[in-house]
Amino acid sequence: MTVGLLLLLFFLLPFVVGQQQQQQQLSSRIELAALFSLRSSLGLRSRFWPRKADPCSAWAGVSCRLDGRVVGINISGLRRTRLGRLDPRFSVDALSNLTFLATFNSSGFALPGSIPDWFGSAQLPSLTVLDLRSCSVSGSIPPSLGTLSNLIFLDLSRNSITGSIPESLFGLSRLSVLDFSHNLLTGSIHPSFLSLGNLTFLDLSNNFLNGPIPPAFGNLSILSSLNLSSNDLSGSIPAQLGGLSRLVNLDLSFNSLSGAIPNDLVGLISLQRMAIGNNSLKGPLPGEVLSKLSRLQSAILSYNNFSGALPQAIWLLPYLSFFDVSFNFFTGSLPVRGESDTFNVSGKSIFNLSHNQLYGPLALSNLVGTGFIDFSSNYFQGRVDLSAFSVNVSLFDNCLQNISNQRSFSDCKLFYAARGLNFDDGIGVSPDSAPQPASGGKRSRRSWKFILAGVFGGLGFIIFLVSAIILLQRRRGGGTTTQREVVVDSVPSGGGPPAPGFSINYASLGNNFTYEQLLQATEEFGDSNLIKHGHSGDLFRGILDGGIPIVVKRIDVRKVKKDAFLVELDAFSRVLHARLVSLLGHCLDQDNEKYLVYKYMPNGDLSNSLFRKISPEEDGLQSLDWITRLKIAIGAAEALSYLHHECTPPLVHRDVQASSILLDDKFEVRLGSLSEVCPQEGDVHQNVITRFLRLSQSAEQGPSGSSSATCAFDVYCFGKVLLELVTGKLGISGSNDASTNEWLEKILPYINVYEKDLVTNIIDPSLIVDEDLLEEVWAMAIVAKSCLNPKASKRPLTRYILKALENPLKVVREESSGGSARLRTTSSRGSWNAALFGSWRHSSSDVVMPGSTANREREGSILKLSTMERGSYGSCRAASGLDVSSSNKKLSREIFPEPTAISRGEGGRPEEEENED
């Protein structure tokens, strides 16, 4: 019987297969014509869609029903012919004739242009999946998509889509997956998302959305992933989000959210990953909320304003493997478990508690495992037995007795005294004892002293403030008062306490060099070692013992502003970034001269490296190539973006010019000239004394009356630097005289967003650029012109400048046809400008935190911030060195070139056959 069945199957198999193939053949002539039209408009190669084969059985990515009707098209991964690559377009009109089409996937296949308005149920009534991610799509989302009532999956991520989210989309009641991330969407999030009750995945990250998070999100009961990171959202976290009992992933990081964490989030019982870092959230971390999140694996709460004690719940969550609360204001002692219990920091577990105000002893004997805990930059005290626990720890910048790289004794003692606690200085105090309040009698007497000191100090401060205002009014009134009436005492020998208005952490400022060391290194500051006379001091090259090259700035306090070097030291003590010049140390022993020691930059500054002599024997100058110039522009923009957007309050450089942009041996940028850095004018974070010290410096007015103490002034100056890179005209960025302004008026009309050829009239003649590089030169010129807007409020923010320079072809994406150099106004270039430059309508003085860079997040670009307190400069963001956030903005060059043209097709097919396709 079995043999008979096998023989029967053997004879019937060819017939069955033939019937199956016959049923899979395309049955509609209209759909056949539509597929060939689509093949032509997209320029697909014959090897993928062969002309003489049946589409249902032989065309890659085409799927059909048993009755021969097309139900699916997937062109992801397919390649165009050479002619198709020359003119890529969003040309898919033929899809409208495929009435049974259920899925269309073109992810990663370039379709520059906008989604056609006819996309809707009238033409595609059966469409359930639309995947257009990473397709170079531009323009706005057509409202007609809201009529695709059967749509379940909609992915438009990683494009250049502009405008707001149309309300018509909220009628897609069957929608399960919605991804609009990494676009240029603007406007607020509409509360009508409530109607999308079947959503399980929602990603709107990396856009420019603003306004509050709609409480209606809490009604999306089956939502498992919500990502709203890297936008400009404000307001508080809605308590209604606690109703999302199935939510697994919540990412609200890199926004401007404020307020406390609502207790209602205890309802997130399925949550595994929570990222709410890089906001302005405050208040305590509710332990009752954490204790209920029993499935939590990752929690990122860094760079906020959280305060209070850390809850013990952080040690009790069984699956928690990454916990980051760095750069907050948490205080109190470290919560520990019972002595009979142990917490296993296993595998790659990481707990980052750094840069807070935690204090007390470290009893870590009950921590075991191979993970990592960062306790750095707190105020833990006593002795630590490193052999008592096996976890890897970072303990620098605390008050520990037997560990190196700790805070100074005076800082630790002041911290504990301010809280009425005993500081364990290792003399007669048990290391294991918790900090206790000081005795009542001494506390009482000390309180009276503090009260009296506060009263007299307050009276003195009022007198000082009134005097300051009078002096300021005299200076503004044109009287005979000198420019600086308030004398700031210089630092005493040995680097003593700073002058009023500054809180400088000298421990973070490198070595304390002796005057004799610097004399020997610079050959007694001889003329042969003089680099140049700077406005804040003379620069000399030198070589330390051991052959280390350095640059020494000699500051004559009798000739420059007395507090200039203190401003620079204050800046270096509070900000540290790979794009800022490295300070190796200082020498402040001399009464009339102060010395700052920097790392030597082999290629000097941009003003003398743009055109440089290769060797003394050769005539002429060598010009920097375009790739290097673009690299320099991006590096300088990174430095400014850090100062403007990753420091609280924003810091203004005030001396952005070619001579301030230093270059190392690989032409990597190190921004120098930090003697003018100050918090942005009018920022509430500035203390009164710092504001007063800045008054005379801030009086200088930038273009159109904008104060030089604003980020907009830096942007204007940086625009002139970009023009120097484009035109090769030296001295523009460092000058603001009539001749410079006249030159700008002559040059700027040649920069036109609609006409590329005009820019060739102003490009540096020594630059050798092909057609592709010309696009980038044109883009930089457009960015420079936007920076030079006469109205400060219309200039771009530096984080957007950085994004534009990193993606120059998105600013002016080529949409030429037939060799025409003029771009169509409907091109993606126009859309990019409409969104990116259009979003720059915000005032540069109204800086939003952050954003970037981040950061944010260029590998190795942001180093550890070494601060002991948050004073007049507040805080600046620093990377933890670990990429754990799904919301990180991609800061590399997001350019989408077509595949390089080749002379022969794959498999040895001649080029003529490709052209025929």
Q: What contacts 329, CB < 8 A, 6 or more positions away?
A: 305, 306, 307, 356, 357
The amino acid sitting at 20 is Q
The whole-angstrom separation of Cα 252 and Cα 259 is 13
- The secondary structure of 804-826 as a DSSP string is HHHSHHHHS----STT--BPPTT
Distance of CA 828 to the CA centre of its chain: 24
Of the candidates 374, 655, 714, 917, the residue annotated as catalytic is: 655
Distance of CA 499 to the CA centre of its chain: 34
Structure tokens at 570: 């204050």
What DSSP element (H or E) covers 137? Answer: strand 137-140
In residues, how long is the chain?
Answer: 917
Q: What angle do CA 432, 438, 444 make, to 5 degrees?
A: 175
For residue 516, give Cα distances in angstroms to 512, 520, 533, 587, 860. 12, 6, 22, 10, 35
The whole-angstrom separation of Cα 487 and Cα 588 is 17
Q: What is the DSSP letter of 334?
A: P
The whole-angstrom separation of Cα 61 and Cα 231 is 36
The whole-angstrom separation of Cα 631 and Cα 780 is 12
The amino acid sitting at 131 is D
Q: What contacts 768, CB < 8 A, 6 or more positions away?
A: 625, 626
Within 341-419, strands assigned E span 343-345, 350-352, 357-360, 367-369, 372-374, 379-382, 392-394, 399-400
| Burial of residue 442, with CB atoms counted within 10 A of its CB: 0-12 exposed, 13-18 middle, 19 or more buried | exposed
Q: Which of 351, 295, 345, 306 is nearest to 329 (CA)?
A: 306
What DSSP element (H or E) covers 273? Answer: strand 273-275
Active site residue 203: no
Residue 701: count other Cβ atoms within 10 Å of its Cβ.
11
Q: What is the largest CA-CA distance in the chain?
A: 120
What DSSP element (H or E) covers 308? Answer: strand 305-308
Q: Which of 787, 773, 907, 802 is nearest to 861 (CA)?
A: 802
Are the C-beta atoms of 55 and 32 separated by less than 8 Å? yes
What DSSP element (H or E) covers 462? Answer: helix 440-476
Determine how β-strand 201-203 pairs with β-strand 225-227: parallel
The whole-angstrom separation of Cα 704 and Cα 716 is 11
The amino acid sitting at 395 is L
| Burial of residue 483, with CB atoms counted within 10 A of its CB: 0-12 exposed, 13-18 middle, 19 or more buried | exposed
For residue 576, give Cα distances in angstroms to 79, 462, 856, 881. 46, 35, 15, 14
**Helices 688-698, 440-476: inter-axial angle, 10-degree rounding:** 20
The whole-angstrom separation of Cα 296 and Cα 271 is 6
The amino acid sitting at 626 is W
Are the C-beta atoms of 221 and 198 separated by less than 8 Å? no
For residue 598, give Cα distances in angstroms to 384, 552, 662. 36, 6, 11
The whole-angstrom separation of Cα 654 and Cα 656 is 6
Question: Positive or negative, the Cα torsion across 239, 240, 244, 248?
Answer: negative
Residue 324 pairs in a beta bridge with 300, 352
Name the residues annotated as catalytic: 655
